[in-house]
Structure 1
Amino acid sequence: MEFKENQAIYLQIADRFFENILQKKWDSGDKIPSIRDMAVEFEVNPNTTMRTFNYLQDKGIIYNKRGIGYFLAEDGLEKTIALKKEQFIQEELPVFFRTMQLLGLTIEDLKKYAQAWSNEGAV
């Protein structure tokens, strides 16, 4: 994985977890790969991966069964959606709307582009 310099590595790894959850690669209650396995996959120090797991556990998205491993929480998908929506609204939408304003794009323009994108099977 190639990491961006403007965001902590553990958060970029968390984004990969979120992607897997949102794409339903993991279902509620599924065991997720171990800290060590994830460290190998992302080519990072296990401490970095542990920080990701702690972050996800603090958010209630995963939980630990001592001696067995980590699992996706029953409401992990819902919590992931809520967290990512809030992040999108707070961080990405302001930049997006500013760019729209600078380019003279309207909401109606967006509707046309969204419809064309949807018709291409991108959704």
Structure 2
Amino acid sequence: MQFNNEKAIYLQIGEYAMDRILLEEWRAEEKIPSVRDLASDLEVNPNTVMRAYDHLQQQEIIYNKRGIGFFASNSAKALILKTRKDHFLNEELTLVFRTMDLLDISIEEVNTYYQNR
């Protein structure tokens, strides 16, 4: 995994984990990789993965069964979708519309461009 310097690594690992859940590689109520296994796979310190897992637990995306490991929650996919949609609509789409307005690009132009791709 390539990390960028603009965001904390633990947050990027959290996004990686959420992507695995959205792609259904990590399914609800199934055990997800251990902290050590994921740290080894991503070539990071286990403490960084633990921090990412703690962050995901606070959002109720994953939970810990003491002595067994971490699991994706039943509501993980829905929570991730809601969070990401809200972020897209409130942050990214606002920027897109502002840029479209500045460049005088209509919705029809975007639609035509998208359909011809």
Q: Give the TM-score taking structure 2 as reference length.
A: 0.90
Look up the match of 1:71. 71
Match of 1:93 in 2: 93
Counterpart of 2:74 in 1: which secondary structure?
coil
**Aligned position for 1:120:** none
Deviations 1:15-71 (A, max 9, x none): 111111111112211110011111111111111111100010000000100000000
* Distance in 1 (alpha carbons) for counterparts of 2:110 and 2:6: 28
Post-superposition shift, 1:100? 1.8
Moved more, 92-101 or 67-76: 92-101
1:48 partner amino acid? T
Give 1:10's aligned residue: 10
* One-letter code aligned to 1:2: Q
Q: Distance between the aligned counterparts of 2:115 and 2:71, measured in 1? A: 37
Report deviation, 1:95.
2.2
**With structure 1 as the length reference, what TM-score do the two structures score?**
0.86
How far, CA to CA, are the matches of 1:5 and 1:91 in structure 2?
A: 20
CA distance in 2 between partners of 1:84 and 1:107 (Å): 23
Distance 2:102 2:90 in 1: 19
| Alignment RMSD (CA, Å) | 1.5
Which segment drifts farther, 105-114 or 50-59? Answer: 105-114
Count of residue pairs brought into register by the alignment: 117
Distance in 1 of aligned mates of 2:85 and 2:96? 14
Q: CA deviation at 1:82?
A: 0.8
Identity of aligned residues (%): 45
User: How far did residue 87 of structure 1 move?
Assistant: 2.0
